[in-house]
């Protein structure tokens, strides 16, 4: 169906009905079973992709290992030039790709465009970085010696990504890996395989135009069984995996079992602390976008509002009022704020979470529910809900990938709020809303938030690519994207050079022959 220009977008992205599957570059091949990609927007089949068999996978590994041998010898700034062209291609296809993200995954078109913008931003960042892969120079303790460190390409990077950011997370990894001299094998979520195909086509176009070998960017498809080919493969020194904590624990153990490196971006249970000194208007915007943006399916989605008792009713009323204005519907229609969640299994988890919070003694203040009728035929549209709860409820301790916001009340000072905020297993994103300098600094201090991301007067979601993205505890400890996150994609080498005719030993050790 011609749904807000989706057919044209599919054409622009080279998504046809036939033979989409495994790829080491421009051609697709596969002999595995088919995955059908249904849109949560209208429930219709978009296209089918074949899964990667072990034989297909070995073909991919042959191509990518071979590609690495040449790609790693290209000077980093020249690899940066390839990434620059890739960023330009993304600019050209931004609307089409944003539309596909919205249609296959269900987030609003605006957020789909935002996601592609994150890809463009990381390309720009990586281009600059391609001239800044610096190591340090140290002073040797020995005369006539020079000591320094350098960073070399690591090899094949295996990327496992989730449905909620079906294109950006791949780009964060790929753009950095490429300038670092690595080659990539990507397994996108089996819930958003066409986003994978579209990105692979864009990358392949650029690589081909530059006469680069097959295998610099590879695509494999399937569920965790296909992921396991990579996690257990000694030819892949780094696995970068985004997804649930459950998945991360399995990946971490498998990769550690062969002493490989893993970069993990797992679940969050993000809170905004609202203190007596909060700007209520800003709080409402941050909290509502954080809770209902991407229909509550970001790792950084706001799950808990920790509100001081003195402003509790004011904040609650304002947030409830804002929820009353939310329009739920086709995410390609820019009049809507909230699209569907990913599939009907996710709808069941949403319903179970609402039942659980009630059973544990919570009070629903904005009723949830599954929408039906015209425009909601896919069965994936749910109402964003709000419940008053306690931090120690089991369901509150748990990350439910759906638009459910828990209101928690605190008494006392910022440290009491921090106890609640840190009192969960996850440690991704956090925020405080306050105009009080002491509260803000306490929140950021050593006794403050234990998360990888801590914001003041900003919500929990919507991080910029320039910072390192990731979190602590059950979030997995990995850092992607900006700052010095590139270092994990390279191997570090310490070099000491003796330019004398003597061979003095370190630590002054005497060893005369
Ligand atoms: C994720 O949810 O997997 O900060 C990533 C944000 C986005 C990235 C989220 N820039 O919400």
Atom of ligand 1 nearest to the CA of 162: 3
Query: Ligand 1 pocket: which of 243, 299, 470 to mutate (most atoms <8 Å of CB)?
Result: 299
Smallest Cα–Cα separation from 463: which of 438, 488, 448, 485? 485
Q: Which residues does 92 contact at the CB level (< 8 Å), separation at least 6? A: none
Residue count (the chain): 513
CA distance 179 to 183: 10
Residues of the chain with pLDDT under 70: 1-2
What is the pairing mode between strands 426-427 and 156-160?
A: unpaired
H-run or E-run covering 126: helix 109-129
Structure ipTM over 0.85, yes or no: yes
What is the structure's pLDDT at 256? Answer: 98
Say if pTM beats, i.e. exceeds, 0.80.
Answer: yes
Beta pairing partners, 426: 473
Smallest Cα–Cα separation from 305: which of 366, 245, 380? 366
Smallest Cα–Cα separation from 282: which of 295, 269, 272, 292? 272
- Give the SS3 label for residue 184: strand
Smallest Cα–Cα separation from 72: which of 170, 244, 210, 213? 213
What is the structure's pLDDT at 1? Answer: 44
- Give the phi and the psi of residue 367 in degrees, each rounded to 5: -65, 135
Query: Ligand 1 pocket: which of 195, 459, 463, 478 to mutate (most atoms <8 Å of CB)?
Result: 463
Question: Looking at ligand 1, which residue's alpha carbon is closest to its atom 1?
Answer: 299
Q: 495: which 2 tokens?
A: 């070099």
What is the structure's pLDDT at 2? Answer: 55
């Amino acid at each position: 169906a011609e749904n807000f220009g989706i057919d044209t977008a599919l054409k622009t992205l080279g998504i046809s009905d036939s033979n989409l599957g495994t790829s080491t570059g421009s051609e697709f091949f596969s002999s595995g079973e088919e995955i059908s990609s249904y849109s949560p927007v209208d429930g219709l089949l978009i296209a089918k992709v074949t899964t990667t068999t072990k034989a297909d996978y070995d073909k991919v590994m042959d191509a990518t290992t071979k590609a690495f041998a040449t790609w790693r010898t290209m000077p980093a700034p020249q690899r940066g030039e390839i990434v620059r062209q890739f960023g330009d291609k993304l600019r050209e296809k931004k609307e089409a790709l944003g539309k596909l993200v919205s249609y296959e995954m269900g987030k609003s078109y605006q957020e789909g465009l935002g996601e592609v913008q994150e890809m463009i931003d990381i390309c720009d960042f990586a281009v600059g970085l391609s001239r800044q892969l610096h190591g340090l120079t140290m002073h040797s303790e020995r005369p006539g010696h020079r000591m320094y460190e350098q960073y070399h390409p690591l090899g094949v990077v295996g990327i496992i990504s989730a449905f909620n950011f079906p294109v950006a997370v791949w780009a964060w990894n790929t753009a950095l890996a490429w300038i670092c001299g690595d080659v990539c094998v990507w397994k996108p979520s089996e819930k958003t395989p066409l986003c994978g195909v579209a990105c692979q086509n864009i990358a392949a176009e650029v690589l081909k135009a530059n006469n680069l070998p097959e295998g610099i960017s590879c695509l494999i498809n399937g569920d965790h069984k296909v992921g396991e080919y990579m996690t257990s493969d000694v030819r892949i020194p780094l696995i970068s995996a985004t997804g649930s904590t459950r998945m991360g624990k399995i990946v971490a153990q498998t990769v550690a079992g062969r002493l490989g490196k893993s970069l993990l971006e797992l679940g969050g249970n993000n809170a905004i602390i609202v203190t007596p000194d909060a700007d209520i208007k800003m709080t409402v915007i941050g909290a509502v976008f954080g809770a209902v943006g991407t229909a509550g399916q970001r790792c950084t989605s706001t799950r808990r509002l920790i509100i001081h008792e003195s402003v509790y009713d004011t904040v609650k009323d304002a947030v409830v009022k804002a929820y009353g204005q939310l329009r739920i519907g086709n995410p390609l229609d820019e009049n809507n704020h909230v699209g569907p969640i990913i599939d009907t299994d996710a709808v069941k988890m949403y319903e179970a979470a609402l039942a659980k919070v009630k059973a544990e003694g919570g009070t629903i203040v904005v009723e949830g529910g599954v929408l039906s009728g015209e425009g909601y035929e896919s069965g994936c549209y749910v109402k964003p809900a709000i419940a008053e709860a306690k931090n120690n409820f089991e369901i509150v301790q748990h990350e439910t990938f759906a638009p459910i916001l828990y209101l928690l009340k605190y008494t006392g000072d910022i440290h009491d709020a921090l106890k609640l905020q840190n009192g969960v297993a996850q440690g991704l994103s956090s925020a405080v809303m306050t105009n009080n300098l002491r509260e803000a600094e306490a929140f950021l201090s050593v006794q403050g938030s234990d998360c990888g991301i801590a914001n003041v007067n900003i919500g929990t979601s919507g991080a910029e690519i320039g910072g390192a993205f990731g979190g602590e505890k059950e979030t997995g400890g990995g850092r992607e994207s900006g700052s010095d996150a590139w270092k994990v994609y390279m191997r570090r080498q310490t070099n000491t050079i003796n330019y004398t005719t003597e061979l003095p030993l370190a630590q002054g050790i005497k060893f005369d022959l």
